[in-house]
């Protein structure tokens, strides 16, 4: 049956699955080439990342500087007061 085939394949390939699992625990993601390397007994090769690339970025988008509204120097700035409908 299909279940028996799946169980047999998983059992026969246990070492390969463990290699991939260990690689994923270390790197979180693997490319196809890195998986092939792992299965061939070679560790994945990745370029060293700088400290900037390792630090998590902010989830808040960066915006430019605020612009000063154009108008007379004595004129009040800001949004107008809301009017009830």
Residue 31 lies in a domain: yes
Residues of the chain with pLDDT under 70: 48-58, 64, 66, 68-78
Q: Is residue 61 part of a domain?
A: no
Could you tell me the residue range of the domain that residue 31 belongs to?
Answer: 2-46
Q: What is the pLDDT of residue 81?
A: 77
Residue 73 corresponds to which tokens in the numbers above?
């120097």
Classify residue 36: in a domain, yes or no: yes
| Contact (CB, 8 A) for 23 and 38 | yes
Specify the pTM: 0.49
Nearest to 22 by CA among 5, 6, 37: 37
16: in domain: yes
Residue 68 belongs to a domain: no
Instruction: Output the pLDDT for position 83.
Output: 79
Position 38 in a domain:
yes
Q: How many domains does the chain have?
A: 1
């Amino acid at each position: 049956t299909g279940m028996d085939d799946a169980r047999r394949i998983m059992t026969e390939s246990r070492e390969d699955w463990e290699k991939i699992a260990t690689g994923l625990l270390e790197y979180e993601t693997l490319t196809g080439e890195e998986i092939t390397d792992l299965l061939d007994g070679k560790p994945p090769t990745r370029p060293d990342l700088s400290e900037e690339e390792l630090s998590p970025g902010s989830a808040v988008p960066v915006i430019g500087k605020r612009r000063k509204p154009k108008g007379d120097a004595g004129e009040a700035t800001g949004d107008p007061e809301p009017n009830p409908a």
